[in-house]
Structure 1
Amino acid sequence: MPREKEKRGRRAEKKAKKEEDSKRAHDDAPEEHVAKRMRRDDADTDADAEITYDSTFDPNADYMSLNVGDEEQQNSQQEEADVDENGHVFYGLLDADEAEYFSRANEMLEANQFGDAEEKNLFIESVYREANGKELKIACSQGCSRLMEKLISMSDARQLRRIFGKFLGHFVHLVQHRFASHCCETLFTYAAPAVMQKPSKAERKEQEGQDGDEEPELSLAEMFMAVIKELKPWLEFLLTERFASHTIRVLLLVLAGEPVDASSSDSPVASRKKEKLSLGTAKLEDEEEEKKKAAPQKRSVPESFQTALKQIMSDVSGLSDICLRTLTTHPLGNPVLQVLLFLELSHFGKASAQDPNSILRRLLPDESFEEGTETAKLIRGLLYDKVGSHLVETMVRYMPGKSFKNLYKNNLRERIGSLSRNETAGYVVLRILERLGKDDLKDAMDLIIPEVPGLVERFRLVVPRVLIERCVIRSVDNKPFAQALKNAFDSDPAIRLEQMLRLNVNGEEAPQQQDEDQEMEDADEGQRERNEQKRKALADIAAEKRHGSLLAQSMLSVPGPMSELIYSSLLAQSPEMIIKLAKVATSSHVLQQALTSKTSKPQFRRQFTARFQGHMVELAQDNSGSHVVDCLWEATKDIFFVKERMAQELAAEEMVLRDSFIGRAVWRNWSMDLYKRRRGEWTGRAKGIERQPAFMESKTGERPKSKIELARERYAAKRNEEEAQKAAAAS
């Protein structure tokens, strides 16, 4: 006989004893139903609650419903859910077979190796049939929630409505779930473009007949309104909830018809730690076309969406002053406030900011921004706060021109130099520079110039780079700023470039990432802390090199003394150093810009391109150096003898380049097959005077017919003539 399942531990013994006592009491009880008083272990519940049950219950079951006779609640997995002490709902777990099936389905969608779009759609439909009734379990599953996100991203409007219908009534719990909240974000994002579509009754009946599943009665627009109605009582809490706040931001943008671009670096929509879902390396052509068509753009939305959005803004602006001030520095509430301010100022027009009940006016009641007012104190506090400064950036970018001028004149203009020195407030300075006119920008440059040595010493080069770019756009003379940069760096041109690109800073390689459990066992707390500090230091050095490279590229785009600082530094480098720069990702971009920029003169390119001769094959096989080799093709278009020598160098090592994936790309970009077989055509292409095809040169613009095509036409004409003669003779 199989052994009876036994449980170990004191809790199991206590539970077994209770079950045995319950079974004895049940055996002694009469057959008819009686109302009994059961004592519950939870101290928060009423000890006198009456619970009715019948004789059909299983005393050995791990879970016993309070209403055993209610068969409807027993059979419904979605409506019957456990609620823990924190208020979180548990929708159940997938069994082993279901989890294995959905895991394999996720792998197949990840590989994306379907023959065509029809085969892929059939597979997705089969997964939907298998997931019917288990949508909530899948969305809350750590391993399968990614599958739900992929399915939503590949679904059509009909399938989106079905999933939306399954989630309705559960959004309050789903948006607070660690994994299901991401599914809600994806569902809102991909359902937004279809809100204006409403299927006809005939289409619904046809789909119901094909799939055998009941079609939701509500349209997507009505479902979104149902979500708003469901979340509205909990909105104040959800604004600062760990997972729900991200979903609320997406929902707000959907209601406004704004594009939901979570991939943008400065977008406050999605979490920075959210995993990016990939659809495999084998991309189908139709997916690429859909991706191009799905570029972020505004959408038309129903009028009810506008009303709901205004109501949400009214609810938020109706919060107390303390709550609103708390949201400005709250890590989760601040991004939501940014989205609301953006929508208020850009979507509903800047005139809405004049409303005393608007969010902007509630935060900044004094429009004059005079020193000493509550508004000025708030702005000054937020400028130096790592969280609050992002809200100031949004205000500066979108607030009305009159309000911005008052803010800049009374609070920021005289302090813009000191603000540029601060690591946090410096990013607000970037937004200020973007809105300044020509005269104000020149005054701001004069105030920032004295701070340039300190900025270079602390290597905070973001403000100088943006200032250079804005001076070019506003046509401001930047020669004084170029002189300030020249004085801030070393007078030796060779050392100047090393300082700017941080070539003199060499960090040790980061410690290898160990398994988390092994690291907890082997490494003590001090060692882990030292490793974390070393990783942070290496990340800071990498960021400094990246900012130095961006500054050098911006300087190269400005004609005159600004770009001459970089060109003279490049010519002062040795050929060995140039090759070293070409193999580093950050510095190679500077070389590419120097070779292809409009400010690059032929005299410089003639001297500089000679440094690469003898190293073409070496660079062509390097990941970063290969891009420099590609730029050399463009840089030598008016220096043909240099390009020809480089092509000879590449042709001599043809097999080496063909054995390398990167080398084959360089071989193709330099048209080396044409160089070996048709040297004349390659010469014309190398000089930029590529010969036009014959049909382009003809006056008619039509392609000339080949000899075999002409022969076929003569044969067809002769045959038609013979048939005509036979017909005439017969008649």
Structure 2
Amino acid sequence: MPREQQKRGRRAEKKAEKDESKRKFQEDPDAPVAKRLKPSAGEADETNDAAGFEENGDYIPLDQGEAPEGEVPDNSGDMVFYGLLDEEESEYFSRANEMLELNQFQDAEERSLFVDSVYAEASGKELKIACSQGCSRLMEKLISMSNPPQLRRIFSKFIGHFLHLVQHRFASHCCETLFIHAGPAVMQKTKPRPKDSEGGEEEPEQSLADMFMSVVEELKNNWGYLLTERFASHTIRVLLLVLAGEPVDVTSNESFVASRKKERLEIPTIQGEEKVGKTKKEKHTVPESFEPTLKKIMTDMVAGLDDVYLRALATHPVGNPVLQVLLFLELSHFGKSSAKDPKSTIRRLVPDESFEEESESGIFIRGLLYDPVGSRLLETMVRYLPGKAFKNLYRNNLGDRIGSLSRNSTAGYVVLRILERLGKDDLKIAMTNIIPEIPGLIERSRLVVPKVLIERAMVRGIDTKPLAEALEAAYSADPIIRLQQMLKFNISENVASKSEDHDMDAATDGKDRKPRGPPPISAAEKAEKLHASLLVQAMLTVPGPMSQIVYTALLAQTSETIAQLAQEPTTSRVLQQALTSTTSTPQIRRQLTTRFQGHLTPLALSSSGSHVVDALWSATKDIFFVKERMAQELEQHEQELRDSFVGRAVWRNWSMDLFKRRRRDWAYKAKGLEERDAAVEGAERPKSKLEQARARYAAAREAADAGATGANQTAVASRDAK
């Protein structure tokens, strides 16, 4: 009988012991896990020496590891876990989230009662909800709909845990929302409420201002670490802006706070709350104690960093936005005189204000120009630098290279900020340097620089004829093809696809038909069409040769092509601009508006075309016979328009009910006479010809009577004198 194969020696014994311990651990899952101890200072030094790192080496650990969901590491390596919601609680809060999204409340009072009931159910579970992947969105919505007393209560629940919450993947967004909505209410005085007013919950003693100071006290020893923490850096930016009283708009594309990937939660509002939403986008008053606190935070945040580390943050994807906020507050909020402080962030980044080409500052600026992350910091510097420093930066580093910089996909955004700050003379020179690059920019679909150049030339009052000639030369001489190139709209492909669909339907004899829509458009193609539309709209605002390029191309198109353009989301904006712009003369509008006749009904039933039909109402205010024919065309398809949502809007905007019942009043409104009367306060309705004749006759009769009376009085006076 063969013997069992066994390994011999100490290695076999160690492997057997290891397998035995592993088996016991799997059998007993509740066994305590040994906590990893933090190494002492001596052991840490020995580890660094063994790894080959010097004590003050160039190693800069910017990236931090991620923790498991629900557990947040702090500087000591400990894990904080606030617990999980059970199934019933998760189901209840999920239903509450759906109710708030549907927003089917009759008024604000009913919704307020619902929010109070959700708060009562969430009492004692606030931290669990904030750290929950599925329910943290509910917490954000609740905070957004809360009044100042409710904000104080939820704020008090978070105090003492902010160091862990701001680093949590989901709770950090709740902290952001809390800071944003508590900032405008920080100066409001709240009346104390009785204990039994809402679920027997006590009113916090601290005010919102004191709570913000508690947050700063809790985080004060961790600014350098939180600066580059993946989730905390967003919350730190919000906190800095709120302490400064600056508005925080996370929906803006130019916001310092939110990235493009941030999920924008649409908070439903009740009618009458638009003013409250507007106030949150405006500057708000803060207590006087906030300003020295903010200065200390900004100083402590960069005080422990050397210049090499600070400049490394300029190209770090997490640290760069925080630097943008610091520069913005230094240069705009505290005044540009703060930039002269040698300890300020801007002075440490660019110590030489002259920005000479071979200086340390000049080398640093050139390194940021072509970096996708660093160029955003350079945009902030160009926008908020003092005038003298900006002129030195432009003349010594950027002015002579502005043409080549506009060709680059990254540096081109810095060029936009430069053009916004240039004066009239410098802008003329910049335009001269950029004009030779226009054909290349048009060919590569980099249309943002020409668009901004047109807008700034209009603001500064610069002649745009050379720029118009360069744009016209960049496109085809044929106006029909030119419009297709300008708007990235291929008419032949659309016609071919429609004819192909018709042939397919005819071949199948109506059997096995499958709906075929237009081919899917990639995100890059959508962006190209959008930028092309914005450039053409900017050209339409400039009187003279610039707008004539577009009008000539539009008038060369057929009626069917115009109808196709009106049904595209991006190109319909161009038609609206062409119909309502001040550069469009009555002759141009007379030729352009007639091309829509016969296509008004399909356009009125289209989501994009309906806006063009609405623009035709104001475009034909001085062409009454064209407007009347269009109204008759719409009247013939009344039922189709009434059956469509956008069609009903067109029917209402064109006052078609008035057209059917009281044609004279509709004509009075269509000619713009009501608007003219509204502009002149107290003006009466113009008189008809018959009323004017009666008025003339009455005036002549009064004059004759007055003359006869005067003659009689003269005769009597002469007789008495005799």
Q: TM-score normalised to the size of structure 2?
A: 0.80
Correspondent of 1:148 among 139, 144, 164: 139
Aligned position for 2:24? 14
| 1:93 CA displacement | 0.3
Change (3 A) 1:137 1:19: closer
Pairing 1:584-599 to 2, within 5 Å after superposition: 584-599=568-583
Distance 2:523 2:359 in 1: 41
Identity, % of aligned positions: 65
Distance 1:40 1:174 in 2: 25
Which residue identity lines up with residue 24 of structure 2 in the other structure?
Answer: K
Aligned position for 1:670? 654
Aligned position for 2:273? 287
SS of 1:303's partner is coil
Aligned position for 1:543? 527
Aligned position for 1:617? 601
Which residue identity lines up with residue 374 of structure 1 in the other structure?
Answer: E
Aligned position for 1:76? none
Correspondent of 2:359 among 360, 373, 376: 373
Distance 1:612 1:670 in 2: 15
| 1:453 CA displacement | 1.1
Correspondent of 2:233 among 220, 242, 245: 245
Matched, 1:633 2:617: yes
1:200-256: CA deviation from partner (whole Å, max 9, x where unpaired): 5xx25x245654222222111111111111112111111111111111110000010
Aligned position for 1:296? 281
Pairing 1:230-629 to 2, within 5 Å after superposition: 230-280=218-268, 283-292=269-278, 294-318=279-303, 319-504=305-490, 538-629=522-613
Pairing 1:627-666 to 2, within 5 Å after superposition: 627-666=611-650
Which residue identity lines up with residue 212 of structure 1 in the other structure?
Answer: G
Aligned position for 2:666? 682
| 1:103 CA displacement | 1.3
Distance 2:150 2:646 in 1: 42
Which residue identity lines up with residue 14 of structure 1 in the other structure?
Answer: K
Which residue identity lines up with residue 119 of structure 2 in the other structure?
Answer: Y
Change (3 A) 1:163 1:40: closer
| 1:195 CA displacement | 1.3
Distance 2:21 2:493 in 1: 55
Assess if the C-alpha contact under 8 Å between 1:83 and 1:90 holds in 2. no
Aligned position for 1:111? 102
Change (3 A) 1:279 1:361: closer
Which residue identity lines up with residue 256 of structure 2 in the other structure?
Answer: P
Distance 2:337 2:26 in 1: 70
Change (3 A) 1:81 1:315: closer
Matched, 1:217 2:217: no
Distance 1:629 1:659 in 2: 17
| 1:609 CA displacement | 1.1
Aligned position for 2:127? 136
Assess if the C-alpha contact under 8 Å between 1:620 and 1:662 holds in 2. yes
Change (3 A) 1:129 1:564: same
Assess if the C-alpha contact under 8 Å between 1:433 and 1:470 holds in 2. yes
SS of 1:360's partner is helix
| 1:40 CA displacement | 6.5
Change (3 A) 1:507 1:668: same
Change (3 A) 1:315 1:698: same
| 1:83 CA displacement | 7.1
Aligned position for 2:173? 182
| 1:147 CA displacement | 0.9
| 1:452 CA displacement | 0.9
Assess if the C-alpha contact under 8 Å between 1:317 and 1:357 holds in 2. no
Change (3 A) 1:216 1:81: farther
Distance 1:648 1:108 in 2: 45
Assess if the C-alpha contact under 8 Å between 2:590 and 2:623 holds in 1. yes
1:533-589: CA deviation from partner (whole Å, max 9, x where unpaired): x99x82111111111111111111000000000010101111111111111111111
- The count of corresponding residues between Structure 1 and Structure 2 is 608
1:696-720: CA deviation from partner (whole Å, max 9, x where unpaired): 5679xxxxxxxxxxxxxxxxxxxxx
Distance 2:284 2:376 in 1: 26
Unaligned residue ranges in structure 2 (runs of 5+) = 1-18, 40-69, 495-518, 686-722
Distance 1:87 1:663 in 2: 62
RMSD: 2.7
Distance 1:180 1:441 in 2: 47
Distance 2:253 2:492 in 1: 28
Distance 2:643 2:365 in 1: 60
Distance 1:685 1:469 in 2: 35
Q: TM-score normalised to the size of structure 1?
A: 0.79
SS of 1:285's partner is coil
Distance 1:638 1:450 in 2: 42
Which residue identity lines up with residue 163 of structure 2 in the other structure?
Answer: V
Distance 2:541 2:72 in 1: 63
SS of 1:690's partner is helix
1:390-412: CA deviation from partner (whole Å, max 9, x where unpaired): 11110111110000000001011
Distance 1:430 1:698 in 2: 50
Distance 1:330 1:89 in 2: 28
Change (3 A) 1:698 1:690: closer
SS of 1:193's partner is coil
Change (3 A) 1:185 1:507: farther
Assess if the C-alpha contact under 8 Å between 2:484 and 2:491 holds in 1. no
| 1:42 CA displacement | 5.1
Matched, 1:123 2:107: no
